[in-house]
Amino acid sequence: MDMYQIEGAKSLRGDVPLSGSKNACLPIITAALLGEGPSTIHGVPDLFDIRNLRLLVEHLGASVEFSDGTLTIDPAGVNRDYVPYDMMCRMRASFYAMGPLLARYGRAKVSLPGGCAIGDRPVDLHTRGFQDLGAQLGESNGYIVARSPGKRLKGSRLSLLGSNGTSVGATCNVMMAATLAEGVTLIDDAAREPDVVELAAFLRAMGARISGEGTSTIRIEGVEKLHGAEWTVCTDRIEAATFAIAALVTHGDVVLRGAVRPHLYSTLLALDLWGAELTWVGENDLRVRRSRHAKHPLQVVTEPWPGFPTDVQSQLTVLLALTPGESYIRETIYPERFKHVHELKRLGAKISVPEKGRIQITGVPALRGAVVKATDLRAGAALVTAALAAHGTSQIRDIEHISRGYENLEQKLIDLGAGICTLPVADSDPGLDGHTHHDTNDAVSQADPSELETLAGDVV
Ligand code: EPZ
């Protein structure tokens, strides 16, 4: 297993090209299964999650080519409706196979999905939405088995409101399922995130009749067929936010190339209130640096779009850990998403958890290098950000989590002047603190296609 070694306290300076959005890309890849012909998607980041989803759609029978950020998917050969546990447990987005399979083939058998360990992540809103479209669902040996009794699903009016608000995943999945349903579907309480808007636009390019995306009611008029489409995915707003915060904590001066201004609204609002100097130097190029004004502690609540994104909560924690005064963050989407807190304390941050779902951050003048462990993707991003700011050397273990969501992170940081390299971790590695490291990594690994093949069953 590898780790990052970071020599901190170096200002990040220069330009960073943003990659395509992981969370926008994932549902677009499975949506391509709905088309009668091949789809070509540009701007696809080369990430573990993308590679694993590619293996999944190939397992279903689609042929896929991926080079230089362009992914071509031809679903002509799809001949399975079954996704085995070993594939589903690698990531949450594998559940995105269910909507297209049900819509196009009327059947799907998928195991419950995996994903980042950030708290309870049920799929009840997805399954409820499919049932509202007329699918019959059952559970058998850890698998969800879904069938459409008629040839096509039936359009319906449904709500996707859960106890924690709206759901990005359920909105995408049900929207995909409804594109080929008979009649009109109205999704109330739909998620409004850019990922949903991007998927709707791609589906429209495939011939779907969708309107209202980006509002809380989406209207889908089912069509009999969809065709393949060509699409360029928007850049990653969470990657943009991560680099922006890394620039601020290192007293740097960074231009984010390819940023989508409306996608960054709430993140930039928070950074502006904190005291960042944010200048659009081109239509999609944002310069980020500290202003001369005082840095303000903040009280931030994570919320569904257009609120402050949960995926930037851990990185913001690092910024506030270095901001004089008391800051607070309330996490409403994943109230247990604070695994980074324990690790940030190793670097000298002062953070307490006064109640479930809320942290209090007391600013300290500086962080110091330490050995820490990434427990999930964004917790890992926060640790990299903190280590870049910290004085001395840090080692970040279990970086496989980070590779799920950040393309070429190491090279992009080196190009900005960071002191970062990847090193192998031996079981007996004493780390910086002299203690032996025992690898507790439970990260995703690459699929072993032969193993998956033997698990594969049902033929569509
Ligand atoms: C997406 O997850 C993202 N993942 C997450 O990003 C992101 O944190 C999350 O949206 C919120 O923005 C992908 O796009 C692959 P949700 P998703 O359904 O769709 C509850 C990252 O770091 N819920 O919007 O799974 C759920 O527990 C990742 O890139 C139900 O109760 O999130 C949560 O509290 C991590 N029942 C809330 O809704 C359901 O059936 C929002 O979850 C589904 C969700």
The predicted structure's pLDDT at residue 457: 29
- With a 6 Å cutoff on the Cβ, whether 168 touches ligand 1 is yes
The pLDDT mean for the chain works out to 91
- What is the DSSP code string of 214-243? TBS-EEEE--S-B---EEEPPB-HHHHHHH
Residue 96 Cα: closest atom of ligand 1: 15
* pLDDT tens string 135-183: 999 988 888 999 999 889 999 999 999 988 999 999 999 999 999 999 9
Q: Which of 164, 167, 163 is nearest to 196 (CA)?
A: 167
* pLDDT tens string 400-449: 999 999 999 999 999 999 999 999 987 656 566 554 443 333 322 333 33
Residue 124 Cα: closest atom of ligand 1: 40
The predicted structure's pLDDT at residue 432: 61
Distance 116 CA to ligand 1 centre (A): 10
Average pLDDT over residues 347-357: 96
The predicted structure's pLDDT at residue 164: 85
The predicted structure's pLDDT at residue 115: 56
The predicted structure's pLDDT at residue 111: 84
CB 181 within 8 A of CB 210: no
CA distance 83 to 85: 7
Question: Domains of the chain by range and CATH?
Answer: 2-19+235-459 (3.65.10.10), 22-232 (3.65.10.10)
* Residue 460 confidence (pLDDT) above 70: no
Average pLDDT over residues 334-343: 95
Q: CB neighbours of 423 closer than 8 A, spacing ≥ 6?
A: 2, 3, 4, 5, 395
Spell 408-447 as b/e; 16+ CB within 10 A means b. bbbebbeebebebeeeebeeebeeeeeeebeeebebbeeb
More confident residue, 359 or 454: 359
Distance 445 CA to ligand 1 centre (A): 22
- With a 6 Å cutoff on the Cβ, whether 126 touches ligand 1 is yes
Catalytic residues: 116
More confident residue, 434 or 97: 97
* Residue 368 confidence (pLDDT) above 60: yes
Residue 405 Cα: closest atom of ligand 1: 29
Confidence grade of residue 119 (pLDDT, cut at 50, 70, 90): low
The pair of structure tokens assigned to 91 is 């990531």
Distance 353 CA to ligand 1 centre (A): 22
pTM over 0.85: yes
* Residue 349 confidence (pLDDT) above 50: yes
Nearest CA to ligand 1 atom 6: 311
The predicted structure's pLDDT at residue 84: 86
* Residue 116 confidence (pLDDT) above 60: no
Residue 128 Cα: closest atom of ligand 1: 40
* pLDDT tens string 186-226: 999 999 999 999 999 999 999 999 999 999 999 999 999 99
**Site to substitute for ligand 1 among 168, 332, 406, most atoms within 8 A of C-beta:** 168
Confidence grade of residue 233 (pLDDT, cut at 50, 70, 90): very high
Confidence grade of residue 458 (pLDDT, cut at 50, 70, 90): very low
CB 154 within 8 A of CB 133: yes
* pLDDT tens string 374-399: 999 999 999 999 999 999 999 999 99
Average pLDDT over residues 74-91: 89
- Percent of the chain at pLDDT above 70? 91
